[in-house]
A = this chain, B = another copy of it.
Amino acid sequence: MDIAAVRRYLLALQDRIVTALEAADGQAFVRDAWTRPPGERLQGDGLTRLVEEGGLFERGGCNFSHVRGPHLPPSATQHRPELTGAAFEALGVSLVLHPHNPYVPTVHMNVRMLAALPEGAEPVTWFGGGMDLTPYYGFEEDAVHFHRTCREALAPFGDDKYPRFKRWCDDYFFLKHRNEPRGIGGIFYDDFNEGGFDAGFAITRAVGDAFLGAYLPIVERRRGLPYGQRERDFQAYRRGRYVEFNLVWDRGTHFGLQSGGRTESILMSMPPLAQWRYRWAPEPGTPEARLYSDFLVPRDWA
């Protein structure tokens, strides 16, 4: 296990991604480094990179964080009693981008590692991560490209990985209270330690490295499409679902907010603007209705 190598990889990944996003956006991302105050239970540092009112992104961020705590939370050890109370480190990069143009999808990517450091025993590491796409207006070609890129990234680790992680993503990014997927999915994995540290780190690097190739070609294809108030309204309405998922169902967000995480970095995932309307549904036959009928359904995109 080499936490320093993971940290180096994550910081370089964040830098590489933000540099490419800045080039696409035309506006520099804010750089906000933070350190948890000494004396608190959790220690650690992070680097928040964020853009608001950019040329392409209305709001978006790519955050690195690395925290250390004296004891794993009980939720993390209920199936691993031998690790109860062990010290831990958690580090990762998390990204959410909300473009202005409703024809450009919102995207989420996350790669992370958790290490339990029991006294007098070998450390145990788990990796997690993935990426998923949330379009407002669906394009088959974009969904296929995104999923194929995910499949290719996972191909070196066995043919089972993409179908497993694709299903995991569909299951996880699902609004049970709406009976509705958040978007068109992608890949997701968590608590992954098959093959130990080296295998987990390799697969996680593959996911992180694949992100720009999965997303930027879609951005370039859609960013020039003209739109008006109708598309913006639909985007704001659908962003309400993004808020609902992240605040009600996302374990990382919920746990982070309830356990004293850095609120403004966690809520980087919130859209700049969201709308709610009572029992609203799109007119049948419209592009908005096609999002629900053709895209927010389980499909084999790759």
Interface residues of A (CB under 8 A from B): 30, 32, 48, 50, 52, 59, 61, 176-178, 236, 240, 243-244, 247-248, 254, 257-258, 260-261, 263-264, 266-268, 270-279
Known A50-B278, A272-B275, A278-B50: A248·B243 in contact at CB below 8 Å: no
The residue that A243 contacts in the complex, of B52, B247, B257, with Cβ under 8 A, is B247
Asked whether, in the complex, the Cβ of B268 is within 8 Å of the Cβ of A278, the reply is yes
| CB closest chain-B residue, reference A256 | B177
Whole-angstrom distance between the Cβ of A218 and the nearest chain B Cβ: 24
Asked whether, in the complex, the Cβ of A236 is within 8 Å of the Cβ of B278, the reply is no
| CB closest chain-B residue, reference A253 | B248
- Complex CA gap A59/B272 in Å reads 20
Known A52-B277, A273-B275, A278-B264: A254·B248 in contact at CB below 8 Å: yes
The residue that A273 contacts in the complex, of B59, B61, B236, B258, with Cβ under 8 A, is B236
Task: Indicate how many identical chains form the complex.
Answer: 2
Asked whether, in the complex, the Cβ of A52 is within 8 Å of the Cβ of B258, the reply is no
Q: Report 6 cross-chain contacts, Cβ distance below 8 Å, ordered by A residue.
A: A50-B278, A59-B278, A177-B261, A267-B276, A268-B278, A272-B277
For A48, what are the chain B residues with a Cβ–Cβ distance below 8 Å? 278
Whole-angstrom distance between the Cβ of A246 and the nearest chain B Cβ: 9
Q: Given contacts A59-B277, A248-B257, could you give 13 more A-B pairs where the C-beta distance is less than 8 Å?
A: A32-B279, A52-B277, A177-B261, A178-B263, A243-B243, A244-B257, A244-B267, A247-B247, A248-B258, A264-B279, A267-B276, A272-B277, A273-B274
Known A247-B243, A247-B244: A278·B177 in contact at CB below 8 Å: no
Q: Among the interface residues A59, A178, A263, A268, which one has the most CB atoms of the partner chain B within 10 A?
A: A263
Known A176-B258, A248-B258: A240·B270 in contact at CB below 8 Å: yes
- Complex CA gap A236/B263 in Å reads 19
- Complex CA gap A274/B277 in Å reads 12
Whole-angstrom distance between the Cβ of A236 and the nearest chain B Cβ: 7
- Complex CA gap A257/B243 in Å reads 14
For A254, what are the chain B residues with a Cβ–Cβ distance below 8 Å? 248
Whole-angstrom distance between the Cβ of A200 and the nearest chain B Cβ: 30
- 6 smallest CB-CB distances across A and B, nearest first, come from A247-B247, A270-B276, A177-B257, A177-B263, A264-B279, A50-B278
Asked whether, in the complex, the Cβ of A278 is within 8 Å of the Cβ of B240, the reply is no
| CB closest chain-B residue, reference A274 | B274
For A177, what are the chain B residues with a Cβ–Cβ distance below 8 Å? 257-258, 260-261, 263, 266
Asked whether, in the complex, the Cβ of A278 is within 8 Å of the Cβ of B52, the reply is yes
Whole-angstrom distance between the Cβ of A34 and the nearest chain B Cβ: 11
- Complex CA gap A248/B50 in Å reads 23
